[in-house]
Amino acid sequence: MFFSGFPRMVGLSLFPRLSSLTIIGQSISSIHGLEYCPLLKELWVVECKLNEICGLHNCVHLQKLFLYDNNIQQITDLEMLVDLHILWLNKNQISDIQGLNSLVSLKELNLADNAIETLGHSLDPNINLQNLNLSGNKISSFKELTHLARLPRLRHLSLKDPQSIPNPLCLLYNYYIHVLYHMPHLQRLDTYDISSKHLKDTAESTVLKKMMYYTMRERCALRQFDDLKAKFRQQRRDQIQLPEERIRVLTRVFRNVECELSHVQSAGKRDPEDLTSDLRNDHSNEQRLQHKLNALKDRLKFWKRHLEEVEAFHQHNVALASDRRDITVHFLLLELETVGNIRFEEGNTGEPWFTSCYDLLLSRFCAWDYKPHHITGIKINRIIRIHNRALRQRFQDKVHSLLCRQEPSPYSQNYKCCMEYLFYVPDPEHSCESDEILQTLENGFKTANAYKALGRERAIPLTNSVSVSDRLRLTFMQKKSCSTSGSNPVDRLPFRHGQLIISKVFLGRSAAAKEGLLIDCDHYPKANSVYLSTCSKGQKLTAQTAPDLLGLSSLPDSCDCRQQQKLWYMFDHEMVLPEYLVDFEYVTKDTSQPSPDFPSSSHTSPADAPSVSLAELDLDEEALKMEPILKPHPKLLSIDDQSILTVARANVLSQITVLNLHGNSLNKLPEISRLTALKHLTLSFNEFTHLDDISHMRPVRAQPAVQLSQVHMNSFYNPTVKIEPTQQNWICCFTLYDFCFPVCFRMVDLAPADLFSNLRSINLEHNNLTSFSGLIFLPNIKVFICLRQNVNTSLMSLSMLLAMYTNIIYY
């Protein structure tokens, strides 16, 4: 049909046996009447005005379909064409490849000159595809191209057809090497014959060399992290020596005073003739002992809290180093995947660009904006320069096309005055990606519509102020910290460490935002960007005009920097090029100030660990020297019936319910099984290596409690402690706490586990555990304390324990 201006398809009911139909250059907007042509095998509707694909559901025998040069935006209504071999949809307005899953017989697909940016897994079902033309689209990532390697029969691929403009990735380095390596079965690429084995061997050799190079760099980064982690562990060991020593000394005296106090209290109920010293006859001594006990308890709480702070700072430093290691490894893998078209260059003070970027950050930082948080400065840990060839090419093409469309004017001639370096304004609360920064560095900023879908303005938010850039993250971290206020904070500033993206921006025609008008390109048709000033007197900031600046209105307006702070909204994401990634941390009054002459580029500096003043040590000495000063008692090397009766102040073994054997040199308890009424046993500061003697005890009550608060195990290196009770309800509270030599206690093995059905509380603090076997099957555990374990392999068993029982409180 070659009549011009034919408006619609009519009369096809007269051709029921029609097998081929060609319609060229008509005004047809949709396909109709093909239900009368069930035998149709070839259809041409080209250079028309089709807006959609429809009316083909009865053409089940169709083998060739040509719908190029139309206005089609989506691929639809092709599900029934299972015999289709050739499909041409070039020169349309298709942005996503979809609706081809049922075309398993498709051999040739032409999607040239559309607006396709991503491929994904959309072509995976078309396993018989042999010829694919994607020229003239917007594919810019090698990652998208790699998806085509899953088409086993693909032989001809066109991404840079002479009749179309090339895809952006065709202009990248190593384009042919990447395609030859990932798709060695190709016979023809664009207009070149690549069937030669020599070409494919060369590409494979080049890629393997690059893989070896980046593998070496990755291992180097991991080795540096391991060295840094070992350094942190050594620092922690050095930092906990003093508090652990103080805890040992204070605990020993605390137990002695506790024993003496119990003797004094029990002596007050007995005949004065039984008292062993005049000290116990004086009621005031009981008060002095209680006062000293309370003082020692306060000092123990201080040192234990200090230990927790040291451990928290250690974990904090390791977490920071781990995050930076992960980022470094991610950057290396990204460089390898893009065959060097994305590179990350870490700067140092000898680089001119580093100094310029550093000066820019300092000039855009105003401490007055952070006055409520007592922040006095900013420390730059490292600056990474981003070389993204695809994004840079897109940015340059966009600026060039924008200038070419405009009439010659001073504006177009002096376009460099519209170039600016601005900070991106992220919003963690409205971000759907946890790695938004990494995605931005790789793929660029999202479109304005994507930001609107996230609940933000329909534009890319940028600013010339560090405080404005980081304000939303700062608020988000504060809220998150308040929601978890029950745990000890590692840092009083939860937002101390952060990252900034510095972007090169072509502002173009910029207009001031209008009051009460939403930030939307439809409201500013002649503007490329919209700006807001943080101190506009004639403009009232609202949630609609400037939601990113609402927090600034409460700050005291006493700094001249506020007069220059602005927020820009860019409508076109292609006019924003991310160029630098900055790792920084805020400096407060209690932290060291960075040197302005020597910016720090090191990312391995640990956070300052909590220090101990001499006044705290003096308080320890005051507590230890408080009256009364107890005389050391003779240590028991072994026990018998008489010594047990003497220590317990009892006449009959069966009457003893509490036995305190603290501070002796015992390593066995041969007579302990005869204490049938025993409910509470203290064995701190002894020399036990195993607890077999306790396992033979036969309790009278259903739930007696045995407390092992501190066991001194210096005669047996690296023992395995096993506790095997013979009664199912033998124990309710089992505590292993504060070992003098923690490296000696390695394993907790409670077997058989079903005998511990009443176990409620376990304290394994200050040990060096590698296994929790036997603990993961205890159904009634309520409190599980396991702080400061030095061996990482214990975390696997611990995670299993926490995963199986949700009623556990873990400290």
> What integer pLDDT is reported at residue 57 of this predicted model?
87
- Percentage above 90 pLDDT, the chain: 44
> What integer pLDDT is reported at residue 175 of this predicted model?
93
Kindly state the tokens that stand for 625: 């020297």
Give 350's contacts (C-beta < 8 A, 6+ positions apart).
none
3-state secondary structure of 721: strand
Residue 96 has pLDDT above 90, yes or no: yes
- Percentage above 70 pLDDT, the chain: 74
Residue 553 has pLDDT above 80, yes or no: no
pLDDT higher for 89 or 612? 89
Q: Same topology for domains 348-588 and 641-810, yes or no?
A: no
> What integer pLDDT is reported at residue 661 of this predicted model?
82
Tell me the CA distances in angstroms from 234 to 42, 229, 231, 238, one per residue in order.
Answer: 76, 9, 5, 6
Q: How is domain 348-588 classified at the CATH fold level?
A: Phosphoenolpyruvate Carboxykinase; domain 3 (3.90.228)
Mean pLDDT rounded to a whole number for the chain: 80
**By the 8 A CB rule, do 40 and 13 touch?**
no
pLDDT higher for 734 or 639? 639
Give the right CATH number for 641-810 from 3.40.50.11060, 3.80.10.10, 3.40.50.300, 3.30.70.260. Answer: 3.80.10.10
**By the 8 A CB rule, do 482 and 542 touch?**
no
Q: What's the pLDDT band for 765 if we cut at 50, 70, 90? A: low
What are the residue ranges spanned by the domains of the chain? Answer: 348-588, 641-810
The dihedral built from the CA positions of residue 746, 749, 750 and 753, taken in this order, carries a sign that is: positive
**Unique residue bearing structure tokens 């996230």:** 454
Residue 545 has pLDDT above 50, yes or no: no
**By the 8 A CB rule, do 65 and 81 touch?**
yes
Q: What's the pLDDT band for 634 if we cut at 50, 70, 90? A: confident
Write down the pTM of the prediction.
Answer: 0.74
Cα separation of 732 and 705, whole Å?
Answer: 6
Average pLDDT over residues 674-693: 78
Alpha helices for 106-151 (secondary structure H)? 142-146
How many CB atoms within 10 Å of residue 250? 22
Q: Find, among 661, 653, 673, 672, the residue nearest to 637 by Cα.
A: 661
H or E element, residue 22: strand 20-24
Q: What's the pLDDT band for 385 if we cut at 50, 70, 90? A: very high
Q: Name which of 276-290, 309-323, 543-557 the model is least confident about.
A: 543-557
pLDDT digits (tens, 9 = 90+) for 406-463: 655 555 556 778 899 999 999 988 876 668 899 999 999 999 999 999 889 999 999 9
> What integer pLDDT is reported at residue 328 of this predicted model?
93
3-state secondary structure of 108: strand
pLDDT higher for 422 or 7? 422
Q: Name which of 228-242, 456-470, 505-519, 688-702 the model is least confident about.
A: 688-702
> What integer pLDDT is reported at residue 697 of this predicted model?
57
Q: What's the pLDDT band for 12 if we cut at 50, 70, 90? A: confident
Cα separation of 750 and 776, whole Å?
Answer: 10
Residue 733 has pLDDT above 50, yes or no: no
> What integer pLDDT is reported at residue 11 of this predicted model?
80
**At 109, phi and psi to the nearest 5?**
-135, 125
Cα separation of 56 and 99, whole Å?
Answer: 13
Residue 176 has pLDDT above 70, yes or no: yes
Q: Name which of 83-97, 120-134, 493-507, 755-769 the model is least confident about.
A: 755-769
pLDDT higher for 740 or 632? 632
Average pLDDT over residues 281-291: 79
Q: What's the pLDDT band for 811 if we cut at 50, 70, 90? A: very low
**Most confident option among 9-18, 136-145, 588-597:** 136-145
> What integer pLDDT is reported at residue 810 of this predicted model?
45
pLDDT higher for 698 or 206? 206
H or E element, residue 216: helix 197-267
Kindly state the tokens that stand for 404: 């070419």
Q: What's the pLDDT band for 786 if we cut at 50, 70, 90? A: low
Alpha helices for 406-487 (secondary structure H)? 410-413, 436-443, 448-453, 466-483
Cα separation of 613 and 412, whole Å?
Answer: 65
**Most confident option among 266-280, 372-386, 600-614:** 372-386
Cα separation of 446 and 460, whole Å?
Answer: 8
Average pLDDT over residues 201-206: 93
**Helix axes of 175-182 and 197-267: crossing angle, nearest 10 degrees:** 80
Q: What's the pLDDT band for 135 if we cut at 50, 70, 90? A: very high
Q: What's the pLDDT band for 269 if we cut at 50, 70, 90? A: low
**Unique residue bearing structure tokens 């409508």:** 571
Q: Find, among 103, 110, 167, the residue nearest to 133 by Cα.
A: 110
